[in-house]
């Protein structure tokens, strides 16, 4: 069965302090690895899709990378508005449902 594990569960950063979030996945045939941002009481908001090892994608202060077993979400010089829960999800080549990790709660203090 497909599995996604995220670490750390929670991360507290000072504004401007760069860091990385980890997503380990086990999937029978990866179609895509997805990153979402979720604010409290709201639905997940799509950030990136990565398809193959070595691929990288960037959006503002966020950069996602993919290896054969892990994905990283690098946050460069974060701002308080980057505070949210970041969710990682895998999609396999079969049914193609999204399997989510439990997320990393990020808090960026000014």
Partner 1 sequence: DSGVTQTPKHLITATGQRVTLRCSPRSGDLSVYWYQQSLDQGLQFLIHYYNGEERAKGNILERFSAQQFPDLHSELNLSSLELGDSALYFCASSTRQGSNYGYTFGSGTRLTVV
Residue 24 found at the interface with partner 1 (CB under 8 A): no
Residue 110 found at the interface with partner 1 (CB under 8 A): no
Q: Which of 3, 7, 52, 102 is close enough to bind partner 1 by CB under 8 A?
A: 102
Q: Which stretch binds partner 1 (CB under 8 A): 12-20, 57-65, 75-83, 92-100?
A: 92-100
Residue 11 found at the interface with partner 1 (CB under 8 A): no
Nearer to partner 1, 42 or 68 (CB): 42
Residue 51 found at the interface with partner 1 (CB under 8 A): yes
The answer to whether 21 touches 86, Cβ cutoff 8 Å, is yes
DSSP of the chain: --EEEEE-SEEEEETT--EEEEEEEE-SSEEEEEEEEE-TTS--EEEEEE-STT-EEEETTEEEEE-SSEEEEEE-S--GGG-EEEEEEEEESSS--EEE---EEEEEE-
Residue 27 found at the interface with partner 1 (CB under 8 A): no
**Site for partner 1, rule CB under 8 A:** 31-32, 34, 36, 41-46, 49, 51, 87, 89, 91, 95-103
């Amino acid at each position: 069965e497909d599995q996604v594990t995220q670490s750390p569960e929670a991360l507290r950063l000072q504004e401007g302090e760069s860091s990385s979030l980890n997503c380990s996945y086990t999937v029978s045939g990866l179609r895509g690895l997805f990153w979402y941002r979720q604010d409290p009481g709201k639905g997940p908001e799509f950030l990136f899709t990565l398809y193959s090892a070595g691929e990288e994608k960037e959006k503002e202060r966020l950069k996602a990378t993919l290896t054969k077993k892990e994905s990283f979400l690098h946050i460069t010089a974060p701002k308080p508005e980057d505070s949210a829960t970041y969710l990682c999800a895998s999609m396999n080549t079969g049914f193609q449902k999204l399997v989510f990790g439990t997320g990393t709660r990020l808090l960026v203090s000014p």
